Structure 1
């Protein structure tokens, strides 16, 4: 049974496949904080952790969904020329309706995070601010734009770590990895509409390599299982081939596919985090979100 047109349009604005990758951030952060192991090892005694994890999952759904909705709200006029197939220029959703949806999602995300801790509330508020800043201003900035977008994703990982507020001081630096990775994707995406210059694409490839080296160093430092490197190899196999194909031809369609692969592969990146700080089993559990995200990407746009 097909979805009602308005509901489908709202879901298209929220980009469900991307939201699944944001949930993976929360699970990876929970693994880094130690909360995930605590939850599984003594379920009956850790109802608070389990409930708080659910609150943070709901929070990231609101924050990510609201952020990407406002992306289309701010780009409404530009999309009339460049992407007329999107819900707002198509006429399925008005700019006002989009703004209301985005506002409800962002506020809802912040309120859900507030149920966990003050730290979670502060981080969620910062993520919402960074998302709006990127939508309204950052995306038009050559250097600061990718960094701005990366801050949103790094903050989302910190939101997962805030499940144990004390762990933020120990593992805040982990947020630098998704910041660099998202900066790479944002750099690559610049040519998605009109075609890209190879310098930006090669720059993205270089940042991808920095991320992989950082993850490998982290795994070695934490004396992780060899399974981590299996996840890491899978990660590399997902992001490099479409990017190198885009570099060879620099066509908008190929760049779009490279961006899509980069976004969805955030789940594999988070599986690496989970396997480093918990175990390969936890990494595999996070990885199970991948087919869900890929499936949703068949019906709803990622970029």
Structure 2
């Protein structure tokens, strides 16, 4: 029962993508004002502290949420995924429950260091994650929406670095809601093979996400020219694996499409972050992608 088994339960490569959510929300909040921040000799310490607390919060929330996913799936995994830490005996249900509880508590407490609103959003994310782990994932329609709401809430958590910005930019959370809903639809075929209707529906939803990001050009705070290169990279990362999975419907291809979709979250966030805070900040967010890819070679994403 080694420590690595419990780290594996946390899916660390996925956690890096959650940090990208926070960085994007932080940019949209106005805590960074376009590229001018890069020309300044001093970065506001309060803003930096808020960012670090929110990053710590999302590590706890995401880690705790996925740990509880394995807790609730322990019996099913003994049949479908016996190599997972709990069914293989490398981790226990009790140990995973304790770890998940501590991580969720850490997420809420860290968010509370920023504002009461941040703590409320973190609590809502934790509740939403537990609902998904317990019941939500078993529902064909509400399950993907439930998972998407967790990710949308995470983006709101980043925006809450400036609490008043949440009311102004709440609708940005709809983009990850739609995107994660699409990935969740695709992931249903990881074990037994993909459903063509779900896979084709995901292609449509991916298109809606890209259109939604482009539509942010209507905002005076958003520069779509900074966003475009990152958006093209995002499209390049998500469409080929998904289109390959549609005719084949093989579990291996579906799993690759899911993995690509999860990691591409970083490129999606970079495309929006660049639009709000300049291409330099977009690159900073995008640098999380090779980190996540490296970790994904050591620890499973799904």
Tell me the TM-score normalized by structure 1. Answer: 0.96
Q: CA RMSD in A?
A: 1.4
| Distance in 2 (alpha carbons) for counterparts of 1:7 and 1:40 | 40
Q: Tell me, yes or no, if structure 1 residue 31 matches structure 2 residue 27.
A: yes
Counterpart CA distance in 2 for 1:211 and 1:105 is 30
Contact 1:232 1:272 in 2 (8 A): yes
Q: Supply the distance in 1 between the matched residues of 2:26 and 2:260 (Cα, whole angstroms).
A: 24
Q: 4, 9, 13: which one pairs with 1:8?
A: 4
Residue 169 of structure 1: which of 151, 158, 167 is its match? 167
Distance in structure 2 (CA, Å) of the matches to 1:154 and 1:137 = 19
Specify the SS of the correspondent of 1:97.
helix
Counterpart residue number, 2:48: 50
Alignment partners' CA distance in 1, 2:38 and 2:255:
39
Contact 1:39 1:49 in 2 (8 A): no
Q: Alpha-carbon deviation of 1:249?
A: 0.1
State the shift of 1:36 in Å.
Answer: 2.7
> Is residue 77–residue 84 contact of structure 2 (8 Å, CA) maintained in 1?
yes
**CA separation of 1:159 and 1:41: change in aligned 2, threshold 3 A:** farther
In the TM superposition, what are the counterparts of 1:1-303 in structure 2 within 5 Å?
6-37=2-33, 44=42, 46-219=44-217, 221-222=219-220, 224-303=223-302
Is the contact between residue 219 and residue 228 of structure 1 (CA under 8 Å) also seen in structure 2?
no
Q: Cα distance 1:225–1:198, how it changes in 2: closer, same or farther (>3 A)? A: closer
What is the Cα deviation at residue 227 of structure 1? Answer: 3.2
What runs of 5+ residues in structure 2 fail to find an aligned partner?
A: none
Distance 1:9 1:196 in 2: 29
Q: Distance in 1 between matches of 2:66 and 2:41?
A: 35
Is contact 1:225–1:280 with CA below 8 Å preserved after alignment? Answer: no
Tell me by how many angstroms 1:39 deviates.
6.4
* Aligned residues of 2:136 and 2:143 also touching (Cα < 8 A): yes
Post-superposition CA distance 1:203-247 (Å, at most 9, x none): 111100000011111135445152311111100000000000100
CA distance in 1, matches of 2:76, 2:279: 44
Go from structure 1 to structure 2 and tell me whether the alpha carbon gap of 1:238 and 1:112 turns closer, same or farther (over 3 Å shift): same
Cα pair 1:71 1:135 within 8 Å, conserved: yes
Could you tell me how far apart the structure 1 residues matched to 2:224 and 2:78 are? 50
What is the aligned residue count?
Answer: 299
1:39 and 1:50 in contact (8 A); partners too = no
Distance 2:67 2:207 in 1: 31
Contact 2:225 2:275 in 1 (8 A): no
Provide the rounded CA distance (Å) in 1 between the counterparts of 2:286 and 2:218: 21
